[in-house]
């Protein structure tokens, strides 16, 4: 994987977590915040850090932000600063701007001004936690579209020891098991003869409704 350059503007709880994770994955991260203390605290984890008020176009220009592949605007509470920063970034020609929104209206404005991806961390995490509480075997999921999801589902005691043929997921539920994560191996595109064991995790693709039925059918 090529090393990309990222910047995170606003190093609060959300921004600092995003920045540290990107750095931990081996990419270059520039952290920007107007608060000196916040910047000092993050300095040890990131490639570069800068103290700047990003509503000032000149400040953003002088740190060379336009050369960065992806900029995350993690300013939340100060909606005006979040919007102004995002406009300046798009005006300066930053290719990918991802911004955190606090409300649907905030998100709508960010989209209108050309932000490439708007995220709602609290709302999305709330939905994720609720889904996992209601379906304890659902470990994680990625929404591919409004209707389609890839989900990681634990193998329950009820189906442990069964082969994929016995489970007959596609005919019974409509969804497909595309991989099996074993404790020390991953079986990609498993065959009908592959056996599910108790510590395995299935990676399943299907519509939300198919995955929901499958999840309920194996308990
Ligand atoms: P979080 O929910 O992520 O913890 P928070 O509630 O602590 O965020 P926010 O107001 O969302 O705080 O701001 C996040 C960070 O963005 C803060 O550290 C703040 O100093 C920084 N910030 C706010 N406005 C600007 C700005 N104009 N330029 C640069 N940094 C800013």
From first to last of the 219 residues of the chain, give the pLDDT tens digit: 566 899 999 999 999 999 999 999 999 999 999 999 999 999 999 999 999 999 999 999 999 999 999 999 999 889 999 999 999 999 999 999 999 999 999 999 999 999 999 999 999 899 888 888 888 888 888 989 888 999 999 999 999 999 999 999 999 999 999 999 999 899 999 999 999 999 999 999 999 999 999 998 998
CA–centroid distance, 3 to ligand 1, in Å, is 27
Distance CA 35, CA 18 (A): 18
CB 86 within 8 A of CB 97: yes
Residue 6: the pLDDT is: 97
First vs last C-alpha separation in the chain:
39
pTM: 0.79
Query: Does residue 100's CB lie within 6 angstroms of at least one atom of ligand 1?
Result: no
Ligand 1 pocket check: which of 16, 17, 33 to mutate, most ligand atoms within 8 Å of Cβ?
33
In a 10 Å sphere around its CB, with 0-12 CB exposed, 13-18 middle and 19+ buried, how is residue 27 labelled?
A: middle
Q: Report CA-CA distances (Å) from 216 to 104, 126, 134, 146, 182.
A: 32, 22, 11, 21, 22
Q: Domains, the chain, ranges and CATH?
A: 5-119 (3.40.50.720), 124-217 (3.30.70.1450)
CA 128 – ligand 1 centroid, Å? 24
pLDDT of residue 72: 98
Residue 35 CB–ligand 1 contact under 6 Å: yes
Structure tokens given for 192: 């009908």
In terms of Cβ atoms closer than 10 Å to its own Cβ (0-12, 13-18, 19+), residue 44 is exposed
Query: What pLDDT is attached to residue 1?
Result: 53
State if residue 88 touches ligand 1 by the CB under 6 angstroms criterion. no
Q: Which residues contact 170 (CB under 8 A, 6 or more apart)?
A: 176
Whose alpha carbon is nearest atom 21 of ligand 1?
Answer: 10
Q: Pick the atom of ligand 1 nearest to 13's CA.
A: 4
């Amino acid at each position: 994987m090529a090393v990309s350059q990222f910047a995170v503007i606003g190093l609060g709880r959300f921004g600092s977590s995003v920045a540290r994770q990107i750095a931990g994955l081996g990419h270059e991260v520039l952290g920007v915040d107007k608060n000196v203390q916040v910047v000092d605290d993050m300095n040890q984890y990131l490639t570069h850090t800068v103290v700047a008020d990003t509503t000032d176009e000149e400040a953003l220009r002088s740190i060379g932000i336009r050369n960065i592949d992806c900029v995350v605007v993690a300013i939340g509470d100060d909606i005006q600063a979040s919007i102004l920063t995002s406009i300046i970034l798009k005006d300066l020609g930053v290719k990918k701007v991802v911004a955190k929104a606090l409300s649907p209206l905030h998100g709508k404005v960010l989209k209108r001004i050309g932000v490439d991806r708007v995220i709602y961390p609290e709302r999305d995490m709330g939905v994720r936690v609720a889904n996992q509480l209601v379906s304890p075997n659902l470990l994680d999921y990625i929404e591919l579209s409004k209707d389609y999801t890839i989900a990681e589902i634990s193998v329950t005691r009820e189906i442990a020891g069964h082969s994929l043929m016995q489970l007959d997921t596609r005919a019974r539920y409509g969804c497909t098991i595309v991989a099996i994560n074993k404790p020390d191996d991953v079986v990609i595109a498993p065959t009908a003869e592959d056996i599910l064991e108790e510590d395995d995790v299935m990676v399943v693709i299907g519509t939300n409704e198919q995955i929901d039925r499958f999840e309920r059918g194996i308990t």
